Every structure is written in structure tokens, then in C-alpha cells.
Amino acid sequence: MSRAHDNLPVYPDNQGTKHIFEDVYEEYRLRIRHYLALKVNPMAADDLTQQVFIKVMENLDKFNRNSSLFTWIFKIAQNTVKNEYRSISRKHEMPYDFTSYESQSISLDFARYVDIRIDIGAALKQLSELDQQIISLRFFVDCTLSEISKIVGMRESAVKNRLYRALEKLKKELKEWGDITMMSILDLISIESKSEGSHRQSKVHEDLFQELKNNVEQITAKYKHQPSSKIVIEIYPDLPTFHQAVGEVDAPDWFMGTFDNNILKIVSPLNPGPEHTYQSILRSTLHLYTMWLISDINPLTPKWIRQGIGGYEAQQMSRDFIRSTTSEAIRNGTIPSFEELNDHSWEFGKTGFQFSYLIIEYITKEYGLGRLNQFIRNLDDYHGIFHLTKEELHRQWVEALQNQLI
């Protein structure tokens, strides 16, 4: 059932109502779920979606075709939300609402394994309630202008004018993101910019995608693993916003990205903070992707292996930087053990990245990529893979580092 033919199909038999409902549910469930997720928490949204379609099933024979089927269902969803709010109010609980969201993302399909999300929640909060509603209906619920006009009670031409004025306001609010966000928004909503700055916007946006496009397929092949799910990359406008979003408000400035399940979260490369550059953010995103891939292969992989392989593939640290920050520890014989490199505190940022890189570099050059792949999948089999104990491998690596320093 296409949205271009938003009417009930006609079936010749008595089972028609059941068939109709199944088609209606399949066609509109996700759109209604997206709307409800803007109004209540995700768990409640699932419950309310079921309530809405139970009411649709019970009242489908009463649909009089005076409006489109979607707007009729949407009105049921709106009333369901109102009833939920009344129930919450009686319980003295606080309802969720679109305007109270700390983070709201648009999603951009990029490649087979990667999806890019841009956080625009803060910018949306600066718009009027009506503008927020129109934008959310258009881009998060996928409503047509005709559907929005019926929902908000405005002429379609007025909705169109309001939408584009709201988008202009939104673009101004997104200036703090830099050009990467601007181009992403333009791509999503199919608005063309003929200004001189559009070429620079396109270049910035393309760089982030190209960095991943050039490497993701190669890395997945190198480590012989088909990712279990598509990666989502969420981009935050600056370090304070990113740190708050991941619950690390006191994090050091070098902390620019992390991952949670299949979601990579990074700061915008155009606002990288004092410890990073535009290019280092791009490379660090590849670092994070590689770390996630290794965790996807074996969730028990320790931090030093994940960080080491991530750094080795991204190559964002120069050889001079690694040498200058590790030479004292190598000279003094205070190279960290594998257990110490599994440190999850901020102390890891001092030399943990560098030594993790160096051990992976050593294993790869001394034993080959095939052995490293075996090791990722069989973490305890030091003897079978390297013909050494864990302690002997560490000692051999330390000796190699010391010999290189001489």
C-alpha cells in the first residue's frame, strides 16, 4: 500500500477486515512509533503503539474517508498520548516530550556498515513549539505536507512556508556545528545551496565519509569478520556537549569519542578541542570503528588489544610522538604489563595508547596478521599461537623495545 494511494483496499471476502488491518499495521506502525517516541520514553512508546493499533482495529469500519487513513490514525495516536499524559499527571510523574529531549538525531545512510547521525536536539529547542512540531512531523515521522496541514490545522501552503522558515532558523542555530552539519542537513532535506560556502561545506562533509569509505571494507576483510550489525556514528557539536552526552563531564580534552554497543559517538571534527585537530578526529573515528569491530569479533578482548589495533589501523599517532612519550619508560624498565594496559581510568591517556600500539605492531611484524587474528579469537592460547607463555611474550616485546632504543 503506497502513500500515494492512502485509502483502504477492497477485498471480496469476509476476511477483508483482517487483511485490511494487517496492511494498515504494516504500512503505518513505524511512523506512529516514531511520533510516540518523541512524546514518551521508548518503552512507553512501544506500549502506546500497540494501544493505538488496537483502537484502529476496533474502529476501522468507522473510517469515513473524509481524511487520509494516516491522518485518521494519527489523530488516534494524539488522543492516546493525551490520555497517557492525563494518567501520568494523576500519578504526579513527569511526562517525556519532544521539547525536553537533550538529544535528537537525524540519520544519514552512508554505507553497508555505517550510518551517520547528527545531533540537532539543542538547535530544535530554540524554535517555537509549532516549528518543532512541523519539523518533527516532516523528518522524524515522515509526514507529507498535506498530512501535516491536516494535523496542525493549517493550509498546506502555509505549512510549506512555515517549514522552510523553520529550516532557515534551524540552520542558523546549527552554525556552532560548523559546515559538516550544514551539509548533512541539506542532504537530508534535499535543499540546495548555491552560495560560495557550499563547496567548502561539501568538502568537509565528504572528508568524514571518505575517511571511512576508504578503510571500513578493508579493515573488515583484514580481520576476517562480517560485522554483526550496522554501525551508527553520532556526531556532537563540541567537547562539552559530547562529554555531557556520554556522562563524562569531567573528562580530559583528549577524550573525543567512544562507543556503546554499535553506536560510535564523536565530537565534530570542526570543533575538536585543544588536544585534537580536524584530521585527528577523522582518523580517531576509524580508530573507534576498528575497536568496535574487534569487540564484535570477541567481546572479551582486553582494552590494550582493542586500543592497540585501533591505533595501528588508524595511524593517528606519529612515530616521533610515540618515541618521545615512551622512551623514558623503556629506558627505565617501567614498561606496563598487559594487565596494567587494561586500565580503564583516565591514566590510560598518558602512555596507554602508545604502548598498546607498540605491542600490536610487534605482534604483527614478528608473528604476522594471521597469528594476531588467531589471538583475538583465542585470548588464552599464548602457547598455541606464539609458542610462549604470556610472561615470555611480554618479556620478548620489552627486549625488542629496549633494543630499538639503543
255-266 per-position pLDDT tens digit: 999 998 888 888
Q: Which residue range is the domain that position 149 belongs to?
A: 120-199
**pLDDT value at 313 more than 70:** yes
Instruction: Indicate whether 134 and 88 sit together in one domain.
Output: no
In this predicted structure, what is the pLDDT of residue 2? 36
Residue at 106 is within a domain:
no
DSSP letters spanning 9-52: ---SSTTHHHHHHHHHHHHHHHHHHHHHHTTS-HHHHHHHHHHH
C-alpha cell of 129? 513549539
Residue at 232 is within a domain:
no
**pLDDT value at 325 more than 80:** yes
- CA–CA distances in Å: residue 195 to residues 163, 181, 192, 406: 21, 16, 9, 57
In this predicted structure, what is the pLDDT of residue 120? 62
Q: The domain spanning residue 59 has which CATH number?
A: 1.10.1740.10
In this predicted structure, what is the pLDDT of residue 221? 87
Instruction: Indicate whether 406 and 303 sit together in one domain.
Output: yes
Instruction: Indicate whether 397 and 308 sit together in one domain.
Output: yes
Q: The domain spanning residue 186 has which CATH number?
A: 1.10.10.10
**pLDDT value at 185 more than 60:** no
User: Which residue shows C-alpha cell 591505533?
Assistant: 311
What percent of the chain is modeled with pLDDT above 70?
Answer: 77
Instruction: Indicate whether 186 and 127 sit together in one domain.
Output: yes
What residues contact residue 180 under an 8 Å CB cut-off, 6+ apart?
Answer: 201, 204, 205, 208, 235, 268, 269, 270
Per-residue pLDDT, averaged over 75-93, amounts to 76
Number of domains the chain is built from: 3
Enter the DSSP assignment of 233: E
Residue at 341 is within a domain:
yes
pLDDT band at 173 (very low <50, low <70, confident <90, very high): low
Beta carbons of 305 and 342 less than 8 angstroms apart: no
Residue at 205 is within a domain:
no
Q: What is the pLDDT of residues 105-143, one digit of tens each?
A: 544 444 455 555 555 666 677 788 888 888 888 877 778
pLDDT band at 176 (very low <50, low <70, confident <90, very high): very low
Per-residue pLDDT, averaged over 373-382, amounts to 96
Instruction: Indicate whether 59 and 155 sit together in one domain.
Output: no
Per-residue pLDDT, averaged over 230-253, amounts to 86
The total of other beta-carbon atoms located within 10 Å of residue 90's CB is 8
pLDDT band at 175 (very low <50, low <70, confident <90, very high): low
Weakest-pLDDT range from 64-68, 136-140, 173-177, 267-271 = 173-177
- Nearest CA to 375 out of 323, 338, 406, 345 is that of 338
Instruction: Indicate whether 88 and 162 sit together in one domain.
Output: no
Name the domain boundary from 63, 96, 129. 96
In this predicted structure, what is the pLDDT of residue 329? 93
Instruction: Indicate whether 125 and 50 sit together in one domain.
Output: no
Instruction: Indicate whether 307 and 388 sit together in one domain.
Output: yes
3-state DSSP helix/strand/coil % of the chain, to nearest 5? 65, 5, 30
Model pTM?
A: 0.57
**pLDDT value at 18 more than 70:** no
pLDDT band at 155 (very low <50, low <70, confident <90, very high): very high
**pLDDT value at 320 more than 80:** yes
**pLDDT value at 339 more than 80:** yes
Name the domain boundary from 199, 216, 246. 199
Instruction: Indicate whether 308 and 377 sit together in one domain.
Output: yes
**pLDDT value at 397 more than 60:** yes
**pLDDT value at 4 more than 70:** no
Residue at 47 is within a domain:
yes
Residue at 379 is within a domain:
yes
Instruction: Indicate whether 308 and 401 sit together in one domain.
Output: yes
In this predicted structure, what is the pLDDT of residue 206? 66
Question: Strand 263-267 and strand 231-236: pairing?
Answer: parallel
Residue at 56 is within a domain:
yes
Name the domain boundary from 96, 111, 139. 96
Residue at 90 is within a domain:
yes
What residues contact residue 202 under an 8 Å CB cut-off, 6+ apart?
Answer: 183
Q: What is the mean pLDDT of the chain?
A: 79
In this predicted structure, what is the pLDDT of residue 390? 95
**pLDDT value at 6 more than 70:** no
**pLDDT value at 284 more than 80:** yes
Instruction: Indicate whether 55 and 129 sit together in one domain.
Output: no
In this predicted structure, what is the pLDDT of residue 367? 94
Enter the DSSP assignment of 337: P
Q: What is the pLDDT of residues 187-206, one digit of tens each?
A: 333 222 222 334 444 455 56
Instruction: Indicate whether 310 and 384 sit together in one domain.
Output: yes
